[in-house]
Each structure stands twice: as structure tokens, then as C-alpha cells.
């Protein structure tokens, strides 16, 4: 898929920004929805390194961009750079920006809860792996939906900061021990760095759901290890589609056809 650096990205209406960005399927999903709704406009994938976020945002606004999706590692920066709406303030994270008035919202959390329907309807104990922007939004969404949240992170202090920022009780275990959890939710970007997580899978109950918010043409090592230990597994494609649909509706005021969005990427999925 074509990706651009923010310094030489051509003018277009919409884009997803992050670093790395080449793995993103958002352009396929959003462009399918635009075409189906009869709207003109392009949606590109643009690489924006963490420390260049402010300069990139300035240039993309000058180039006439109307909206951006924001992914790893920029979601917390996007919150600070925008006027967060009520939904974004609820989670402290922005993954969708409207550049005209610089309002930011969060569609990850709602999209994630949409994706649990029919898969994990009954709340219970959940272990979230990672303590970045995605973890923050999903921890709050799960707590509000009645789940009992624990957070493990490679850097424990960051998990502790997240717990103190969110302001409700959560456990911060020292190891990612899956025993006793109804769901293990991977929000880390370890796989992007080609690394795996030190999970003692043999301690997990087979009825546990292993959910990875990432997606791709190859099953993540998190999911393949979980499957090898007999767990139920779920990748991030349904969440991707649900958050994309919510972002689309927020920008365009039109509810997109989620089946069309799904069709645009299902041939790429490992399943």
C-alpha cells in the first residue's frame, strides 16, 4: 500500500497518521465507504514520527486536510493538541481529529465495545497488556461496562501512572499471568517491533478469550500462542471496522455500510 511522509504527502481530504503506518488497512476501509456513499475524496496513510507530530499537523492543515485518524504512537499527543469532545475527555485519548476546528474524539472505545457483542457479552476479570493510549481508552470503556480491570505493562511505572490518571481501582500485576481472567487483551505494539510477550499461557483457562487489537495478514504470535493453548481468539479487524465506521459518521454525518468496509479488507485477513 502507498504510504507518504508528512513532508511530501499530497493534498487529500483525510488520512491516518502514525509511525509505522505501512501496516494500516484504514485507507482501504475508508475509501470503500466514501465510494459507496457517493462522496468524493481520498484517504491516505501518512507516516508521522512521534517528535514531528506538531509540525506534521501544521503542514497537513495547510494542505487542506479535513480529518485524521491517529494511531500508534500519537494518540496521547493528539489529545493534547486538540479540543477533546466529551467522548475523548471520558477516555483521555483522541484517535480521530477534525482539522477545521481541531476538535478530537475517540472512536476506539465504542468500536471496541461494538466488537465484543456476541463474543464476550458477560463482564468479568480482564487483563490488559500495555499502558499506552489504546490501553487507557479500553480500560475505561471496560470498567464502565462492568469489567474488573488489571493492567500489566513492560514498564510498570507507566501502568501505575495510567491507574492513577484514570482514578478507579485496578490491579497492576508484575507479570502477565493469564490465570483467572475471562479475557486477555493485547494493546501493546510489541509485535510491530517483532517481539513477543512473556505470557505463561499454560496457566490460562481454555474458556478465556485472547483478544489482540492488532490485525494483519499474518496471525500475531500473541494469538497463535493462545490458540495453541486452546484459548478462543479474536483479532482487531472487527474493532478496526467499528472504529472506522464511527469516525466516518463523525466526519461526514452519514452512517457508512459496515459490510462494505469489511469486504474491503477481508481478503487480506489471515482467517
195 lies in the site for ligand ATR, by CB under 6 A: yes
8-12: long-range contacts, CB 8 A cutoff, minimum separation 24: 9/44, 9/46, 9/60, 9/63, 10/44, 10/63, 11/63, 11/64, 11/65, 12/41, 12/42, 12/43, 12/44, 12/63, 12/65
Residue 26 interacting with ligand ATR (CB under 6 A): no
Among 13, 92, 111, 133, interactor with ligand ATR by CB under 6 A: 133
With CB under 6 A, what is the number of residues at the site for ligand ATR? 20
Query: Which of the stretches 36-44, 51-59, 69-77, 96-104 binds ligand ATR when contact is defined by CB under 6 A?
Result: 69-77
Q: Give Cα 167 to chain centroid, integer Å.
A: 22
Q: Which residues pair with 98 in a beta bridge?
A: 67, 103
Q: Which of 223, 229, 232 is nearest to 270 (CA)?
A: 223
CB–CB of 16/78 below 8 Å?
no
CA distance 235 to 27: 19
Three-point CA angle 264, 141, 56, nearest 5°:
60
Q: Contacting ligand ATR (CB under 6 A), which of 96, 189, 208, 247?
A: 189
**Considering only 40-48, 120-128, 142-150, 188-196, which stretch makes contact with ligand ATR by CB under 6 A?**
188-196
Cross-strand bridge partners of residue 209: 183, 232
Q: How far is the CB of 113 from ligand ATR (least distance, A)?
A: 17
**Residue of minimal Cβ distance to ligand ATR:** 132
Catalytic residues: 75
Q: Indicate whether 131 belongs to the interface with ligand ATR (CB under 6 A).
A: yes
Using CB under 6 A as the binding rule, whether residue 190 contacts ligand ATR is answered as yes
- Least Cβ distance, residue 130 to ligand ATR (angstroms): 4
Stretch near ligand ATR under the rule CB under 6 A, chosen from 138-146, 148-156, 169-177, 261-269: 148-156
Residues contributing to the site for ligand ATR (CB under 6 A) = 72-73, 75, 130-135, 153-155, 158, 187-190, 193, 195, 197
Amino acid at each position: 500500500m502507498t504510504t507518504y511522509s508528512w513532508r511530501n504527502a499530497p493534498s487529500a481530504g483525510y488520512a491516518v497518521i502514525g509511525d509505522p503506518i505501512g501496516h494500516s488497512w484504514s485507507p482501504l476501509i475508508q475509501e470503500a465507504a466514501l465510494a459507496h456513499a457517493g462522496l468524493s475524496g481520498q484517504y491516505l496513510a501518512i507516516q508521522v514520527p512521534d517528535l514531528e507530530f506538531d509540525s506534521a499537523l501544521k503542514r497537513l492543515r495547510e494542505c487542506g486536510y479535513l480529518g485524521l485518524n491517529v494511531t500508534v504512537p500519537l494518540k496521547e499527543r493528539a489529545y493534547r493538541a486538540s479540543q477533546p469532545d466529551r467522548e475523548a475527555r471520558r477516555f483521555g485519548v483522541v484517535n480521530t481529529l477534525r482539522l477545521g476546528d481541531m476538535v478530537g474524539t475517540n472512536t476506539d472505545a465504542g468500536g471496541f465495545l461494538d466488537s465484543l457483542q456476541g463474543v464476550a457479552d458477560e463482564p468479568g476479570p480482564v487483563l490488559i497488556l500495555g499502558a499506552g493510549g489504546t490501553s487507557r481508552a479500553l480500560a475505561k470503556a471496560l470498567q464502565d461496562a462492568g469489567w474488573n480491570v488489571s493492567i500489566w505493562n513492560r514498564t510498570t511505572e507507566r501502568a501505575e501512572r495510567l491507574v492513577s490518571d484514570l482514578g478507579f481501582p485496578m490491579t497492576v500485576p508484575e507479570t502477565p499471568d493469564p490465570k483467572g481472567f475471562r479475557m486477555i487483551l493485547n494493546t501493546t505494539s510489541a509485535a510491530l517491533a517483532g517481539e513477543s510477550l512473556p505470557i505463561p499461557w499454560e496457566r490460562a483457562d481454555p474458556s478465556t478469550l485472547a483478544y489482540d487489537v492488532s490485525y494483519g495478514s499474518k496471525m500475531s504470535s500473541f494469538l497463535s500462542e493462545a490458540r495453541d493453548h486452546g484459548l478462543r481468539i479474536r483479532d482487531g479487524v472487527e474493532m478496526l471496522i467499528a472504529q472506522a465506521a464511527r469516525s466516518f459518521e463523525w466526519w461526514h454525518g452519514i452512517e457508512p455500510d459496515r459490510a462494505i468496509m469489511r469486504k474491503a479488507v477481508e481478503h487480506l485477513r489471515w482467517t
